[in-house]
Amino acid sequence: MIEGVEVFPLARIQDERGMVMHMLRADDPHFQNFGEIFFSVIYPGAIKAWHLHSRMTINYAVVEGDIKL
């Protein structure tokens, strides 16, 4: 894992119809500010690399599958 990266488990609110999770809340201790949200779909068997930022806070939510940090 990349040095300085923190992983926070998401609390699940679940019932017989399904589940919802808060990805990010303004009252979370690690929340800094809001800039943008985007979604990425990566096809099975494909590998997608993120580009390097010298300094940036990014909040990822993996909806399905895994991410390697």
Q: Where are the domains of the chain?
A: 1-69
Share of the chain above pLDDT 70, in %: 99
Cα dist. 42→7, 31, 47, 61 in Å?
21, 26, 7, 14
User: Is 90 exceeded by the pLDDT of residue 11?
Assistant: no
Whole-number pLDDT of residue 34: 78
User: Is 80 exceeded by the pLDDT of residue 27?
Assistant: yes
pTM: 0.45
Whole-number pLDDT of residue 16: 93
Is 42 within 8 Å of 48 (Cβ atoms)? yes
- HSE at residue 2, side-chain half, CA atoms within 13 A, is 14
Share of the chain above pLDDT 90, in %: 1
